[in-house]
Amino acid sequence: MIGPIFQRETSTLPRRGRHFVNRVVFAMMLFGIVCTTWLLLAGIQPVQNAGDLARFGVLIFQLIGPFQLIVLLFMAALAGTSAVSHEKDKQTLLLLLMTSLSNTEVVLGKIGAGLLPTMNAFLAALPIVFTISLLGGVSLEQVIACTWVTFCTLIASAALGATVAFWREKTFQAIAVTMLLIALWLAIGEVIAAGRIPMISSSVAIFVSPLRAVWDIAQPIGSKNVLPFALPMGNAILSGLVMLGLGATLTLLSIKMLRVWNPSRERKAVNAESEEAPLASADVETLVSAESGKRVVKAWKSRAPRHVWNNPVLWREMRTWAYGRKVMLIRLAYLTFACLVAFGLRQSIISGLALQETSFQEELVPAAVSLIAPFFVLSLIIINALAVNSITNERDGGALDLLLVTEITPRSFLFGKLCGVLYVTKEMVLAPLLLCIYMWSQSALSTENLVFTVTCLLVMDLFVAMLGVHCGMIYSQSRVAIGTSLGTVFFLFLGVATCMLIMLMFRGSFGRQLAPFLFIILGGGTGLYVAIGSRNPSPAITLSSFLLPFLTFFAITSFILRDQEMAVFSVVSISYAFATASMMIPALSEFDFAFGRARTADEE
């Protein structure tokens, strides 16, 4: 054992029902992708010999390998962040630091606690991944190399999330910084792979980006071995060692700086007197007497009272530093990332590649989409993270109980939170819109498609914000609420991207592809209902949970068939607006968190 914290986690984790549900769901998800791809292949061409099976094995391995890595990468980062932020929200981390536990035991225990649920899902999926080698086209060494790189990446990702959480005080800050760092991590690998950095070979990308490393492993003919001695899958071994080195470096940094970062400076005592506050006449006399050498106690009053709006919730969100002053650093980092995306988009437009197809995803996706689509998803994840934290912070601080005895109505609270979240994350709302307008000004996007894209982005912004508030209200434990909300957004968009990739590989009619995708559609609807509707059921939420995956599938198919932009816009905007309304209307009627209906024994 690496300490009592990790020992407690290993003892209590098997007692929770979600411990068994998570690994079954993830394994079934991978198995569903394999079955769906097989049904599509069998519906297009007859499988007659071992060569056809081998080609299918290569194809499914190129799907499963990156998909598993991306899902577990973000799961490990979020779990590592939540394991530490949960202690800070409950103000128990300071109690741990007052015990005889060493820095090493605290840091390793929390990183291990974050890795346990992720490794649980990773190990449950190994039989499915290794079964792919039985189809042919994929060697056992390739599967082992992919497993090795994924395992090492999970350690580095969990260490990154825990390190940022130890460093930052607010949960939203920790989540946002972690997501931005992971996005920057993967983006640097893509830039290196594209050969955009002088004096750095594109082959170095497999040692920087785990996604590139897995993609290189999944190729039938891998890249040249860079190790001086002949070792099978030497590049994969070296990539895994680099990830382990990164994780070890972050862990050592956390161990060294644990008691420097905690308690945070934000919790230290601050002098109540403000130097910028105007002094009364009595205060002036006090200062003069103090200069003469007499010891006089200064007045406590530091500034004039501030006028509060009719909606105090909205006033607090917009006029105070409710989420800490370091939010400015997150905004600056996000805008820097947006400038990099805009620069890459400009270069692709100048070179004429904006609407051409890239080779990374089998020559199927335009280069402009590969640049801005991940950026849009990152923006939505940050908005959702702030929305769910706006509720969990109130609960952890004991402010919700005070709100229930005031005259604040559910309508004022809900719209105050939603408008406040969108105001604080205004950069995440406006930057994607400005990129779309820039593409329109460069004739890379038509006026009609600009209107459709901007409207859908605004609808999605409101949807993810409402989803975060909804999950924060129905889940009594902050860690569960944050994980459910971010997990729903992440799996929603990752599932859409995976379905699009599979459909583009097997082009066909809507009727032919509907039957193979029924498993994914029903599974997605069930998962969405369990996440947002099972604890506060209503006919509208149930209907939107099961219709949303089907309508999203219809929108994807219409998009692939081309020249059906109006159908895609109508389906996406109406379906997600209805899902937003189905979560908003029950919240407007009463405070759903007032009676603790979401609290279960599993969350205690």
Concatenated DSSP letters of 141-152: HHHHHHHHHHHH
- For residue 510, which of 562, 554, 571 has the smallest C-alpha distance? 554
How confident is the model over 300-305, as a mean pLDDT? Answer: 59
Q: Which tops the pLDDT comparison, 418 or 193?
A: 418
- What 3-state DSSP class applies to 199? coil
Q: Given this model, what pLDDT does residue 229 score?
A: 54
Q: Given this model, what pLDDT does residue 600 score?
A: 45
- What 3-state DSSP class applies to 41? helix
Q: Given this model, what pLDDT does residue 592 score?
A: 61
pLDDT at 506 over 70: no
Q: Evaluate the CA torsion angle 272, 278, 283, 288 in order and state its sign.
A: positive
- What 3-state DSSP class applies to 598? coil
* Lowest-pLDDT choice from 106-110, 153-157, 284-288, 411-415: 284-288
Cα–Cα dist 316/309, whole Å: 9
Q: Given this model, what pLDDT does residue 507 score?
A: 61
Match 């411990």 to its residue by tokens: 19
Q: Model confidence at 267, in pLDDT bands (50, 70, 90)?
A: low
- What 3-state DSSP class applies to 251? helix
**390 in Cβ contact with 469 (< 8 Å):** yes
Count Cβ neighbours within 10 Å for each residue of 353-390 and write b for 16 or more, e otherwise: ebeeebebbeebbbbbbbbbbbbbbbbbbbbbbbbbbb
Q: What is the pTM of this model?
A: 0.85
Cα–Cα dist 48/166, whole Å: 56
Q: Which of 248-257, 296-305, 366-375, 564-573 has the highest average model confidence (pLDDT)?
A: 248-257
How confident is the model over 503-520, as a mean pLDDT? Answer: 67
Q: Would you state the structure tokens that stand for residue 63, as one six-digit string?
A: 């799907």
Q: Given this model, what pLDDT does residue 155 score?
A: 95
Q: Given this model, what pLDDT does residue 283 score?
A: 45
Q: What is the pLDDT of residues 19-31, one digit of tens each?
A: 788 888 888 888 8
User: Using the 8-state DSSP alphabet, how is residue 195 labeled?
Assistant: T
Q: Which tops the pLDDT comparison, 243 or 346?
A: 243
* Lowest-pLDDT choice from 72-76, 167-171, 300-304: 300-304
Q: Evaluate the CA torsion angle 77, 79, 83, 88 in order and state its sign.
A: positive
pLDDT at 39 over 90: no
Q: Which of 116-130, 199-213, 348-362 has the highest average model confidence (pLDDT)?
A: 116-130
Q: Would you state the structure tokens that stand for residue 142, as one six-digit string?
A: 């390739």
Count Cβ neighbours within 10 Å for each residue of 312-343 and write b for 16 or more, e otherwise: bbbbbbeeeebbbebbeebbebbeebbebbbe
- For residue 171, which of 109, 94, 88 has the smallest C-alpha distance? 88
Q: Model confidence at 335, in pLDDT bands (50, 70, 90)?
A: very high
Q: Which tops the pLDDT comparison, 355 or 352?
A: 352
Q: Which tops the pLDDT comparison, 562 or 95?
A: 95
- For residue 153, which of 211, 106, 67 has the smallest C-alpha distance? 211
pLDDT at 228 over 70: no
Q: Given this model, what pLDDT does residue 278 score?
A: 47
Cα–Cα dist 431/454, whole Å: 11
Q: Which tops the pLDDT comparison, 297 or 433?
A: 433
How confident is the model over 202-221, as a mean pLDDT? Answer: 88
Give the torsion through C-alpha atoms of 540, 394, 379, 441, to 10 deg: 90
How confident is the model over 387-401, as a mean pLDDT? Answer: 84
Q: Model confidence at 561, in pLDDT bands (50, 70, 90)?
A: low
Q: Given this model, what pLDDT does residue 384 score?
A: 93
Q: Given this model, what pLDDT does residue 162 score?
A: 94
Cα–Cα dist 485/480, whole Å: 8
Q: What is the pLDDT of residues 469-503, one digit of tens each?
A: 999 888 888 888 888 899 888 888 888 777 777 77
Phi-psi region of 243 (alpha: psi -120 to 50; beta: other; left: phi over 0): alpha
How confident is the model over 258-278, as a mean pLDDT? Answer: 59
pLDDT at 252 over 80: yes
Q: Given this model, what pLDDT does residue 575 score?
A: 92
pLDDT at 391 over 50: yes
* Lowest-pLDDT choice from 36-40, 41-45, 454-458: 41-45
Q: Given this model, what pLDDT does residue 16 score?
A: 75
User: Using the 8-state DSSP alphabet, how is residue 366 labeled?
Assistant: B
Q: Given this model, what pLDDT does residue 596 score?
A: 44
